[in-house]
Structure 1
Amino acid sequence: MIPAHLATPMQRTIDLPDLEHRPVMRPSIALMAVLLAAALTAPYGAAAACGSPLLDTSAKRLVGPEESLCEHAGKAVLIVNTASRCGYTPQYEGLEALWQRYRDQGLVVLGFPSDQFGGQEPGDDAEIAKFCKVNYGVSFPMFTKSNVSGRDAIPLYKELIEITGESPKWNFHKYLIARDGRSVQAFGSDVKPDGATLRAAIEAALAR
Structure 2
Amino acid sequence: MTSLSDFTATAIDGTPKQLADYAGEVVLVVNTASQCGFTSQYGPLQQLQTDYADRGFVVLGFPCDQFGHQEPGTEAEIAQFCETSYAVSFPMFAKIDVNGEHAHPLYRWLKSERSGILGGAIKWNFTKFLIDRGGAVVKRYAPTVDPADIRPDIERLLAA
TM range (shorter): over 0.9
How many pairs were matched up? 156
Alpha-carbon shift at residue 149 of structure 1 (Å): 1.5
Secondary structure class of the residue paired with 1:90: helix
Q: Which protein is richer in strand relative to its size?
A: 2
Alpha-carbon shift at residue 163 of structure 1 (Å): 0.8
Q: 1:27 maps to what in 2?
A: none
Alpha-carbon shift at residue 54 of structure 1 (Å): 2.5
Q: Which runs of 5+ in 1 are unaligned?
A: 7-52
Q: 1:110 maps to what in 2?
A: 60
Q: 2:38 maps to what in 1?
A: 88
Alpha-carbon shift at residue 182 of structure 1 (Å): 1.8
Which consecutive segments of 4 or more residues in structure 1 shift more than 3 A?
none
Q: 1:177 maps to what in 2?
A: 131
Root-mean-square deviation (CA, aligned residues, Å) is: 1.3
Q: 1:139 maps to what in 2?
A: 89
Looking at structure 1, the residues matched to 159 and 67 of structure 2 have their Cα atoms a distance apart, in angstroms, of 34
Q: Does 1:188 align with 2:151?
A: no
Q: Which runs of 5+ in 2 are unaligned?
A: none
Deviations along 1:7-29, whole A, 9 cap, x unmatched? xxxxxxxxxxxxxxxxxxxxxxx
Structure 2 CA distance for partners of 1:201 and 1:117, relative to 1, 3 Å? same
> Once the two structures are aligned, what percentage of the paired residues are identical?
49
Equivalent pair of 1:133/1:139 in contact (CA under 8 Å):
yes
Q: Which has the larger radius of gyration?
A: 1
Q: Which residue among 141, 144, 151 is the counterpart of 1:199?
A: 151
| More RCO (CA 8 Å, sep 6+) | 2
Alignment of 1:1-208 (within 5 A): 6=2, 53-166=3-116, 167-195=121-149, 198-208=150-160
Alpha-carbon shift at residue 183 of structure 1 (Å): 4.1
Looking at structure 2, the residues matched to 121 and 178 of structure 1 have their Cα atoms a distance apart, in angstroms, of 28
Aligned AA (2:97): N
Looking at structure 1, the residues matched to 137 and 30 of structure 2 have their Cα atoms a distance apart, in angstroms, of 16
TM-score, structure 1 normalization: 0.72
